[in-house]
RNA sequence: GCCCCCGUAGCUCAGAGGAUAGAGCAGAGGUUUCCUAAACCUUUGGCCGCAGGUUCAACUCCUGCCGGGGGUACCA
C-alpha cells in the first residue's frame, strides 16, 4: 500500500523525463542509515548525472512536487518528502504505519507473515542425514537445524514441505563396521551404549588399518556381501541400524524435528539398476579404468562414478537414483539438499548428470528436474580450529552439548526464578534453544568454530535472550489481565523507540520471504535479535525525570495502546522462534 | 596444478554499490523502593587481508597476489 503510493508519486514526478519507471525506482529505494532521516531514501546521483543537473538542486525541486502530490486534496499526508543532499528521503507517518501493522498482527495472530504463495507445491528438503553407526555429533547439528527450520519456513509460505532423512545406511563404511565388530565386538557392550560402542570400534578400525592393510580389503568384501544379499551380514547391518535410529530419534524429539520419510541410501538398492541402464541408454555412461563413469571433463568436473570396478555402487549412484525417484513421487517445485560444503563438487556432478540425462532424452521443460535442484550448503563445524572427524575420534556428541546447556539453564533458573513451576521443561527449552540459536546465528556458508563458552552463553545475541524477551512480554500480558484490543489511539505510540519496534513488526513478512529465498534461517534469527533489542529499549525507556516509563500505568488509553504493541511483538517473537525450531516459554 | 568457500574491533559475527562501517562477547563505568537486571545506558577498541581497476560513489563489483579451509575417480 505504502509502496504503491511511492511508485505513483515518483512516476508522476519529473522522473518521467529520464525514463525511470516506477518499478525501476522502487528497486533503488534503500533505508537510510539514520532512521531519523526517513523510512526510504532514493539516491539521485545517477539521474542527476544523466540529466546533467546538480543533484542537490534537483532534489529540492523534486521534493516540492512530491509533497504537493502527496497531499493532493487532503489536508495532510502520511508521507513526507525531504531533500537531504543527493538523497530524496521519504518519511512514512508513524500513526498510519502503526495502525496498519498492529491491526494486521492482532487479527492474524501467529499467521502474521503466512502466505499462500507456495500454492501447496511440494518442496523436498533433504536434511540431517546422519550416518548410521556413527555418533550424532555437533557436526550434524547444522544440517538438522537449518533443514528443520527451512521446513517450517516453507510451510508458512504455503508450500508443502517434504522432509526426508537420507540416512547414510549403506556403503563401504558398513563393511568396516562389520569387520570391526566381527573381530573385536561384544554383544553385551553393544546393547548398553550402541552408538558410542560402534564409534569406538570404528575409530579402532581406522587405527589398525594403518598397520594392517588387509583390513581394507576385508571391509570391501563385507560390503560386497551386503550388496549381494548375504543374510548373515545384513542381519548385523540391520541391528546396527535399529540401535542407531533409536538414539537419533531421541535427538530429533529434543529438537522438535519431524521427517516425512526416513528413507536412507539402502532404500534405493533395488532402484539403481534401472537408473544405470537409463544412463547407459542415453549414451552417458562409459567404462573407464574398470569402473562405470559419466565423463564430465568438459564441464571442468571430475568424472561421476556410478559403479566401482568390483561392481559395487557409490553414493553418487544413490543420489541420482534418489533424485529421479523423488521426482516421480513428488513432482517437486524444488528439491533442497541441506548438506555441508565439502560435498559441493559431488552435487555439481550429480545435478549435471541429471541435466545431461534430460538433454539426451529431450524432456520438455515441464519435465526438467535439474533447474529445481539446489544444494543448500554450509560450512564446517570445527573444534579448536580442527575439523571434527569420526575417524580421528574428536567428535563432540550433540546429546552431551544439549545436556550441558540444559544443566546450565537449570542452574540459572534456580538462581533467578526458583519458584518457577515446571523447571525441567523450561530448562530444556532454554538449553536446547541456546544450542540451536548459536548454530543458526552464523551465516550458513561460514565455518563455525564450536566454542563451549559461546554455546553456553545466555546473554547478548543468544536464543535465551529472545526467550527472555518473550517471557517478559508474556508477563506483561498476564499483569495487564484485560483483552488486548485493536481500537486504540495509535498516536500514543509516538516515541522513537516505539516507532522503531513498529518498523520491525512491519518488516516481518518480508523477512520470512527473504529467508526462504536464500535458504538461510539466519535472516530470521538476526531479525529477531533486532526486534527484541528494539522492544527492550521501549521497556526500559526513561522519561524526562529519569524514571522508567512503564508500559502498565493508570492511564487506561495509554496502557491499552502500549499493550497492543506488546501483544504484537510477543506474537512475532513467538512465531519467529517457532520458525527456527525454538520453543518460547511464557515464564523463565 | 585446477575448482569452490572464507579473510571486517582482542574474540564471535552483521553489512553485499550509497550518507559517520554496525552488533554481541570480553574490558571500564553506571541503572533496580523490582511491568522478570538472562535486561538497559555510557565508554574503550577499525589501513573492512594486500595491490591495482571500474564508478559521481567500493567493505560491497572486476583482476592479480597473500593467508585459512574444502574438493579434486572407485569413502560419504
Characterize the bridge pairing of strands A40-43 and A87-92. Answer: antiparallel
CA A491 to the chain's CA centroid: 37
* ipTM for the complex shown: 0.95
A442 touches strand B (CB under 7 A): yes
In this complex, the residue with its CA at the shortest distance from the C1' of nucleotide B70 is: A342
Q: What is the DSSP letter of A483?
A: P
- The per-residue pLDDT for A14 is 47
Q: Provide the CA A357 to C1' B48 distance, Å, integer.
A: 45
Q: Give residue A205's pLDDT.
A: 87
CA distances to A211, A292, A328, A465 from A502, in Å: 66, 60, 46, 20
Which pLDDT belongs to residue A402?
95
For the packed helices A272-281 and A344-360, what is the interaxial angle rounded to 10 degrees? 60
| pLDDT for A508 | 95
Per the CB < 8 A criterion, the answer to whether A137 and A383 are in contact is: no
What domains can you pick out in chain A, each with its CATH number?
2-92 (3.30.1360.70), 122-387 (3.40.50.620)
A537 burial type by CB count under 10 A (0-12 exposed, 13-18 middle, 19+ buried): middle
Residue-wise pLDDT tens digits, A264-314: 999 999 999 999 999 999 999 999 999 999 999 988 899 999 999 988 889
Q: Which of residues 217-246 of A touch strand B (CB under 7 A)?
A: 220
Element (H, E) at A292: strand A291-294
Phi, psi of A42 (to 5 degrees): -120, 115
Pairing between strand A304-307 and A79-84? unpaired
CA–C1' A262–B45 (A): 50
Q: Which three cell numbers stand for residue A419?
A: 519458584
The gap between A143 CA and B37 C1' (Å) is 35
The pLDDT of residue A89: 74
* Distance of C1' in B63 from CA in A50, Å: 29
**Cβ-proximal residues to A277 (8 Å cutoff; 6+ apart), any chain:** none
**A132 CB below 7 A from strand B atoms:** no
Q: What angle do CA A201, A261, A131 make, to 5 degrees?
A: 15
Q: Which nucleotide is nearest to A310 (CA to C1')?
A: B74
In chain A, which stretches have pLDDT less than 50?
1-7, 12-23
Q: What is the DSSP string of A152-193?
A: HHHHHTT-EEEEE---B-SSHHHHHHHHHHHHH--HHHHHHS
* CA A300 / C1′ B64 distance in Å: 22
Q: Give A196 CA → B69 C1' in Å.
A: 29
- CA-CA distance, A120 to A542, in Å (whole number)? 48
Residue A416 Cβ < 7 Å to strand B: yes
The answer to whether the C-beta of A104 is closer than 7 A to strand B is: no
A247 CA, B42 C1': Å apart: 50
**Residue A300 — φ and ψ, nearest 5°?**
60, 35
Q: Which of residues 291-320 of A touch strand B (CB under 7 A)?
A: 291, 293, 300, 302-303, 305, 308-310, 312, 314-315
Sheet strand arrangement including A40-43:
A40-43, A87-92, A79-84
Reported as a single tens digit per residue, the pLDDT across A52-84 is 667 777 777 777 777 776 666 555 566 677 777
Query: In whole angstroms, what is the distance from residue A468 CA to residue A459 CA?
Result: 10
- Grid cell 512503564 in the structure block, residue: A550
A539 touches strand B (CB under 7 A): yes
End-to-end CA distance of chain A: 39
d(CA A563, CA A555): 12
The set of strand B positions with any atom below 7 Å of a protein CB reads 2-7, 12-15, 18-20, 22-26, 35-41, 56-57, 68-76
Helix or strand holding residue A221 (H, E): helix A214-227
Which window residues (187-216, chain A) lie with Cβ within 7 Å of strand B? none
pLDDT for A35? 58
Short-list A103, A156, A153, A107, CA closest to A502: A103
CA to C1' distance (Å), from A33 to B66: 34
Amino acid at each position: 500500500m505504502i509502496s504503491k503510493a511511492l511508485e505513483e508519486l515518483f512516476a508522476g514526478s519529473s522522473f518521467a523525463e529520464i525514463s525511470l519507471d516506477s518499478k525501476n525506482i522502487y528497486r533503488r529505494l534503500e533505508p537510510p542509515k539514520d532512521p531519523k532521516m526517513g523510512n526510504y531514501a532514493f539516491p539521485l546521483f545517477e539521474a542527476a548525472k544523466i540529466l546533467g543537473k546538480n543533484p542537490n538542486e534537483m532534489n529540492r525541486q523534486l521534493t516540492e512536487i512530491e509533497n504537493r502530490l502527496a497531499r493532493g486534496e487532503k489536508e495532510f499526508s502520511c508521507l513526507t518528502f525531504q531533500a537531504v543532499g543527493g538523497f530524496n528521503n521519504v518519511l512514512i507517518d508513524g500513526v498510519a504505519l502503526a495502525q496498519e501493522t498492529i491491526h494486521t498482527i492482532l487479527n492474524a495472530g501467529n499467521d502474521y507473515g503466512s502466505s499462500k504463495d507456495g500454492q501447496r507445491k511440494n518442496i523436498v528438503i533433504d536434511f540431517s542425514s546422519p550416518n548410521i553407526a556413527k555418533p550424532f555429533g555437533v557436526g550434524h547439528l547444522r544440517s538438522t537445524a537449518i533443514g528443520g527450520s527451512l521446513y517450517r519456513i516453507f510451510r508458512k509460505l504455503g508450500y508443502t514441505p517434504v522432509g526426508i532423512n537420507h540416512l547414510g545406511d549403506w556403503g563401504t563404511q558398513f563393511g568396516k563396521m562389520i569387520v570391526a565388530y566381527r573381530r573385536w565386538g561384544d554383544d553385551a557392550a553393544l546393547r548398553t551404549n550402541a552408538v558410542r560402542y560402534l564409534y569406538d570400534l570404528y575409530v579402532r578400525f581406522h587405527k589398525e588399518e594403518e598397520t594392517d592393510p588387509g583390513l581394507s580389503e576385508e571391509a570391501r568384501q563385507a560390503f560386497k556381501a551386503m550388496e549381494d544379499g548375504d543374510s548373515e551380514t545384513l542381519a548385523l547391518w540391520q541391528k546396527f541400524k535399529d540401535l542407531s535410529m533409536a538414539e537419533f530419534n531421541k535427538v530429533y524429539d529434543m529438537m522438535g524435528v519431524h521427517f516425512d520419510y526416513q528413507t536412507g541410501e539402502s532404500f534405493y538398492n533395488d532402484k539403481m539398476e534401472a537408473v544405470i541402464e537409463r544412463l547407459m541408454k542415453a549414451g552417458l555412461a562409459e567404462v573407464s579404468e574398470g569402473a562405470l563413469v559419466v565423463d564430465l571433463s568438459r564441464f571442468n568436473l571430475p568424472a561421476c562414478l556410478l559403479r566401482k570396478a568390483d561392481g559395487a555402487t557409490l553414493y553418487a549412484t544413490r543420489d541420482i537414483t534418489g533424485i529421479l525417484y523423488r521426482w516421480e513421487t513428488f513432482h517437486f517445485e524444488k528439491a533442497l539438499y541441506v548438506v555441508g560444503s565439502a560435498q559441493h563438487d559431488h552435487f555439481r556432478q550429480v545435478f549435471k548428470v541429471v541435466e545431461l540425462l534430460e538433454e539426451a532424452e529431450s524432456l520438455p521443460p515441464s519435465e526438467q528436474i535439474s533447474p529445481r535442484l539446489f544444494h543448500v550448503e554450509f560450512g564446517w563445524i570445527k573444534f579448536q580450529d580442527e575439523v571434527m572427524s569420526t575417524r580421528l575420534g574428536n567428535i563432540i556428541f550433540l546429546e552431551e552439548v544439549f545436556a550441558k546447556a540444559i544443566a546450565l539453564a537449570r542452574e540459572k533458573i534456580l538462581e533467578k526464578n526458583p519458584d518457577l513451576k515446571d523447571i525441567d521443561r523450561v530448562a530444556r527449552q532454554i538449553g536446547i534453544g541456546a544450542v540451536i540459536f548459536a548454530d543458526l546465528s552464523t551465516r550458513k556458508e561460514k565455518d563455525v568454530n564450536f566454542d563451549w563458552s559461546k554455546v553456553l552463553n545466555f546473554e547478548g545475541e543468544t536464543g535465551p535472550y529472545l526467550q527472555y524477551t518473550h517471557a517478559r512480554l508474556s508477563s506483561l500480558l498476564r499483569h495487564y489481565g484485560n483483552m488486548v484490543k485493536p481500537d486504540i489511539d495509535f498516536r500514543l505510540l509516538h516515541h522513537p523507540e516505539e516507532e522503531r519496534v513498529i518498523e520491525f513488526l512491519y518488516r516481518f513478512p518480508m523477512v520470512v520471504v527473504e529467508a526462504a529465498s536464500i535458504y538461510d534461517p539466519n535472516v530470521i534469527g538476526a531479525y529477531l535479535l533486532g526486534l527484541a533489542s528494539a522492544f527492550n529499549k521501549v521497556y526500559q525507556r526513561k522519561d524526562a525525570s529519569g524514571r522508567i516509563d512503564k508500559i502498565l500505568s493508570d492511564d487506561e488509553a495509554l496502557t491499552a495502546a502500549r499493550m497492543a504493541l506488546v501483544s504484537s511483538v510477543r506474537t512475532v517473537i513467538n512465531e519467529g522462534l517457532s520458525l527456527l525450531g525454538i520453543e518460547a516459554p511464557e515464564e523463565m
